[in-house]
């Protein structure tokens, strides 16, 4: 089975991201919103992981010794910072050109992590289990989010943590994430998101529960146009993140 024909994959979605090439890492390019989101989502992930694994978030390499699978890693915008925090990171994506970009970037910056062209299904068919599985801005691009979450959760060791971020399916997310971000501000390529594919916090929570995960925590992320940056909020109406634990 090729990565592109896996059940979770919507071929045109993967191809659209694969076509980004080197612009993945252009902070002013089509992935600019993800670049701006990265400090906030990395801080959120570090906080969740430090609490779970009893690490000092301010320590030199707070994630050292933790195996992390970043599913749908794209160009490595989230995977690479986790590796810099000491995580033993494997980034996977069905898009081969994106994996090439991620590898070259890590080589250029000296970040130490691994990348592989693979889907969550292929990983789940193998024997490797991870302390942490992440899927950042991915579930709104897959064929069957609940099934995808179940496959991702199956890759966790007992006591492991699942982290995901996505976009809620609300009137506000239509106005802000599609009309605003794609068509008015042109922050991201028009057509990047389909509103119908957005995933509500209730759906993602249910999927996590059905996958056997517990201790579910959710946090909103909102864009502050004055500061031109994202911040964590309790408002799950547009962008949000979820953390959940596999029972030990
Ligand atoms: C918005 S990008 C996010 C990239 C990265 N996670 C980040 O946050 O910087 C979505 C990524 O999901 C990947 N993707 C799409 N469908 C997927 C699937 N079925 N399984 C895994 N990854 C998928 C795309 O190739 C793309 O790299
Ligand atoms: Mg997205």
Look at residue 190 in the predicted model and tell me its pLDDT.
Answer: 81
Binding residues for S-adenosyl-L-methionine: 41, 72, 93, 136
State how far the Cα of 156 lies from the Cα of 173, in Å rounded to an integer: 31
Region of poorest pLDDT, from 119-123, 171-175, 199-203:
171-175
> In the structure encoding, which two tokens stand for residue 105, read together?
């970037």
Which of 150-172 are b and which e, b meaning 16 or more Cβ less than 10 Å from the residue's Cβ? Answer: bbbbbbbeeebbbbbbbbbbbee
Residue 218 lies in a domain: yes
The pLDDT of 205-216, averaged and rounded, is 98
Q: Which of 200, 192, 187 shows the shortest CA–CA distance to 239? A: 200
Q: Is residue 176 part of a domain?
A: no
pLDDT mean over 81-89 = 98
Q: Does the C-beta of 13 come closer than 6 Å to ligand 1?
A: yes
The pLDDT confidence band at residue 2, using thresholds 50, 70 and 90, is low
Distance in angstroms (rounded) separating the CA atoms of residues 92 and 69: 7
Residue 52 has pLDDT above 50, yes or no: yes
pLDDT of 226 strictly over 80:
no
Q: pTM of the predicted model, to two decimals?
A: 0.95
Inside any domain, residue 183: no
In a domain, 182, yes or no: no
Find the ligand nearest to 77 CA. Answer: 1
pLDDT band at 188 (very low <50, low <70, confident <90, very high): confident
Nearest ligand 1 atom, CA 41:
8
Name the least confident of 2-16, 59-73, 116-130, 228-242. Answer: 2-16
Question: Where is 80: in which H helix or E strand?
Answer: helix 79-84
CATH of the domain at 148: 3.40.50.150
Task: Find tokens 């109406």 and name the residue.
Answer: 237
Half-sphere exposure of 60 (CA within 13 A, CB side): 1
Query: Is 29 contained in some domain?
Result: yes
As to burial, measured by CB atoms within 10 angstroms (0-12 exposed, 13-18 middle, 19+ buried), residue 219 is buried
Residue 194, pLDDT > 50, answer yes
pLDDT at 81: 98
**pLDDT at residue 229, rounded to an integer:** 83
Which residues have their alpha-adjacent CB atom under 5 A from ion ligand 2? 137
If one compares 248 and 191, the residue with the highest pLDDT of the two is 248
Over residues 16-41, mean pLDDT: 92
Mean pLDDT score, 217-225: 90
Longest dimension (CA), the chain: 48
Q: For residue 208, is pLDDT > 90?
A: yes
With both helix axes pointing from N to C terminus, report the angle between 201-210 and 145-154 in degrees, rounded to the nearest 10: 40
φ, ψ (nearest 5 deg) of residue 230: -95, 155
pLDDT at res. 1: 47
The residue ranges of DSSP E strands in the chain, in sequence order, are 67-71, 88-93, 114-117, 130-136, 156-167, 214-224, 229-233, 239-245
Residue 203 lies in domain: 3-167+199-245
pLDDT over 70 percentage in the chain: 98
- Judged against a pLDDT cut of 90, whether residue 173 lies above it is answered with no
Interval between CA 66 and ligand 2 midpoint (Å):
26
Is residue 190 included in any domain, yes or no?
no
Instruction: Supply the pLDDT for residue 49.
Output: 97
* 229 occurs within a structural domain: yes
pLDDT-based confidence at 57, cuts 50/70/90? confident
- pLDDT, mean over the chain: 93
Residue 177 placed within a domain: no
Mutate to test the pocket of ligand 1, among 141, 192, 221, 230 (most ligand atoms within 8 A of CB): 141
> Out of 31-40, 135-144, 151-160, 239-248, which region has the weakest mean confidence (pLDDT)?
31-40
Number of domains in the chain: 1
CB 135 less than 6 A from any atom of ligand 1 = no
Angle at 42 between CA 163 and CA 23, to 5 degrees: 100
């Amino acid at each position: 089975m090729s990565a592109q024909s896996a059940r979770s994959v919507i071929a045109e979605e993967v191809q659209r991201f694969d076509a980004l090439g080197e612009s993945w890492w252009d902070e002013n390019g089509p992935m600019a919103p993800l670049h701006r989101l990265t400090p906030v989502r990395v801080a959120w992930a570090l906080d969740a992981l430090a609490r779970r694994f009893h690490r000092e978030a301010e320590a030199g390499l707070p994630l050292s010794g933790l195996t992390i699978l970043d599913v749908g890693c794209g160009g490595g915008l989230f995977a690479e910072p986790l590796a810099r925090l000491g995580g033993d990171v494997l980034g996977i994506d069905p898009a081969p050109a994106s994996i090439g970009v991620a590898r070259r970037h890590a080589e250029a910056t000296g970040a130490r992590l691994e990348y592989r062209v693979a889907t969550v299904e292929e990983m789940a068919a193998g024997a490797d289990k991870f302390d942490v599985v992440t899927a950042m801005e991915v579930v709104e691009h897959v064929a069957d989010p609940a099934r995808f979450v179940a496959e991702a959760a199956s890759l966790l060791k007992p006591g492991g943590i699942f982290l995901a971020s996505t976009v809620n399916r609300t009137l506000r997310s239509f106005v802000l994430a599609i009309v605003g971000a794609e068509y008015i501000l042109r922050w991201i390529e028009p057509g990047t998101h389909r509103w119908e594919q957005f995933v509500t916090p209730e759906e993602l929570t249910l999927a996590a529960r059905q996958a056997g995960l517990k201790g579910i925590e959710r946090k909103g992320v909102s864009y502050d146009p004055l500061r031109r940056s994202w911040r964590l909020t309790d408002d799950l109406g547009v962008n949000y993140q979820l953390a959940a634990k596999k029972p030990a």
